[in-house]
Structure 1
Amino acid sequence: MAICTFAVMELQFYKYQGTGNDFVLIDNRQHTFSKNDTKLVARLCDRKFGIGADGLILLEEHPAVDFKMVYYNADGNQSSMCGNGGRCIVHFAEYLGMISKNTTFEAIDGLHEAKIERGCVHLKMNDVTNIQTEEDFAYLDTGSPHHVQLVENLADFNVFVNGRNIRNNRYGKAGANVNFVEKLEENTFAVRTYERGVEDETLSCGTGVTAVALAMFETGKATSNKVILQQPGGELQIHFNKIEKGYGDIYLIGPATQVFNGIITV
């Protein structure tokens, strides 16, 4: 039996990062990429045998809005909303000439509006109507499920071990992302996140910092509707309004950068 196989397709890809949360983006408007090939997605995201990324995103046509976002975790499975990925795909759509400075697109959790302003992508997240607060943590869904927990000495905290334990033992097979938080100033917090699907700490998580900002305001740890979140990969801002049932006009604000692009044989 032959031990060598030969590539059957060349695939154009674009590598993006948003505050260190990195993604492989593919223009799939012609449906050349198989959406059911989870092994290929996982291989492309592999940092030793592929391009390397926290996730893979397909940009596809949409009949009513500018485009559709299809997001996969690094394990190859389609997943819930990714905030940093959403900011990156907006930048990608502008790069492709599909949009100017404003856009509306569809993701797995519904429609999102976004704008590009002074080098930052302002991504509108869906309203959050329910925050479960317990004595030592909060739980809420900001497009993806998030556990938010205050800790001391975050820089030395073992995010991998503690995050994996909470993700699996508290939330079972479906899991949840786990955010560990330390207050730095009045409305500034440090955040480190263990992400399900990646099954490791990532340098940044957009839906995660959104969850942190809302949880900190809900529990009185933040006093402003503009919260700064500092992560290992950089700084993001969350702006929001308190509404009758929860929070609305929620914007995730930060940079998105194309790192490189190329062709890989698959």
Structure 2
Amino acid sequence: MRVDFTKMHGLGNDFVVLDARAAPLPAMDEATARAIADRRTGIGCDQLILLEPSDTADFRMRIFNHDGSEVEACGNASRAVALLHGSAARVETSGGVIAVEPRNGGASVDMGEPRFDWDAIPVAYAMDTLRMPVGWEGLEAPGAVNVGNPHVIFFVPDTDAIPLGEIGPEIESDPLFPERINVNIATIVDRQHIRLRVWERGAGLTRACGTGACATAVHAMRRGLVEREVTVTLPGGDLEIAWDEGNRIHMTGPATESFRGSFEWGDFA
């Protein structure tokens, strides 16, 4: 079976997008997603995105990380999908329904409402997620936010000074986080600007993470460190994050189509 794909990225966080809205594809599993995502023997991407029909929204978006695991949300992929779709839409994800709208070479995404309760992150036992009484190798008192997927956030004087490639896997898989966790290391530049690096659950170090930018910005707002609208600078570029009075997070940033192609499903299944 010959299958078309679109290669896209948001600030360097790249995706292979498969569109099964009009015609179904064979069932996607972890092994197939991992094979397609492999950068040496597959097409190569941080996440595989599968678009399908939805009973509750305009269409459904499923997200598979580089390791083949299926996850709930991806902000950068949401912008890429908005660009591909070409018009405003409501999109069903495993983390909830989001609203996307193409805009100026990218998209604006209504990411929904953040969740802060310990069992919504989730963490293994009850605790205050504003200043968690835990730490790893000098990283202390983080916060946690679920923005469709789970994030832990540390504020440090210099995000570049933290060996995130070493400590990220340890925190991601700590038993405190029964569903694993995305790890965000942030520096407050001023009240309108945050610098951020992210170790992404199931994908590793990434040039950009839209949900990480949302989670980090909202956590900084909760702590009173920044205004309700901020620029978050990641290695791949900038995202604009706002948390409105109705408790909804809005993310705006670029997305790009890289190229299109096709492959034989049996080569990766």
For the aligned pair, the TM-score class normalised by the smaller chain equals: 0.7 to 0.9
* Corresponding residue of 2:103: 117
Q: What pairs up with 1:218-257 in 2 under 5 angstroms?
A: 218-222=222-226, 224-243=227-246, 248-257=247-256
- Equivalent in the alignment of 1:127: 113
| 1: CA distance, partners of 2:178 / 2:146 | 17
* 1:99-118 deviation per Cα after TM superposition (whole angstroms, max 9, x unaligned): x3x21121112221121222
How far 1:31 moved relative to its partner? 4.8
Deviation at 1:54, TM superposition (A): 0.8
Q: Which among 191, 194, 197 is matched to residue 202 of structure 2? A: 197
Q: Which residue number in structure 2 is paired with residue 18 of structure 1? A: 10
Residues 47-67 of structure 1: CA distance to partner in whole angstroms, max 9, x if unpaired? 111111111111112245321
Gaps of 5+ in 2: 118-128, 133-140
Secondary structure (helix, strand or coil) at the match of 2:70 reads: coil
Report SS of the residue matched to 1:41: helix
SS across alignment from 2:92: strand
Answer yes or no: is the 8 Å Cα contact 2:113–2:248 preserved in 1.
yes
Tell me the TM-score normalized by structure 1: 0.87
Q: Deviations over 1:219-263 (max 9, x none)?
A: 1111x21111000011001011245xxxx2311110111111111
**2:174 match: secondary structure:** helix
2:116 partner letter:
N
**d(CA) in 2 for partners of 1:163, 1:181:** 13
Q: Within 5 Å, which residues of 2 pair with 1:96-107?
A: 100=87, 102-107=88-93
Percent identity, aligned pairs only, is 29
Counterpart in the other structure of 1:264: 263
Q: Unaligned stretches of 5+ in structure 1?
A: 1-8, 95-99
- Equivalent pairs, count: 246
Cα root mean square deviation, aligned: 1.7
**1:144-159 counterparts in 2 under 5 A?**
144-159=149-164
User: Aligned partners of 1:141 and 1:129: how far apart in 2?
Assistant: 5
Q: Which residue of 1 aligns with 2:125?
A: none
* Residue equivalent to 2:122: none
| Structure 1 SS opposite 2:253 | strand
Q: d(CA) in 2 for partners of 1:119 and 1:239?
A: 19
Partner of residue 221, structure 2: 217
Is 2:50 the counterpart of 1:58? yes
1:133 partner SS:
coil
Query: 1:142 matched to which residue of 2?
Result: 147
SS of residue matched to 1:217? helix
Aligned counterpart in structure 2 of residue 174 of structure 1, from 179, 182, 187: 179
Q: In structure 2, how many angstroms separate the alpha carbons of the residues matched to 1:186 and 1:231?
A: 17
- Give the equivalent residue in structure 1 for 2:37: 45
Contact 2:145 2:215 (C-alpha < 8 Å) held by counterparts: yes
Equivalent residue for 1:33? 25
Displacement after TM superposition at 1:129 (Å): 4.1
Name which of 205, 212, 220 aligns with 1:208.
212
The 4+ residue runs of structure 1 with deviation greater than 6 A are none
Give the Cα separation in 1 of the matches to 2:106 and 2:149: 22
8 Å contact kept, 2:239–2:251? yes
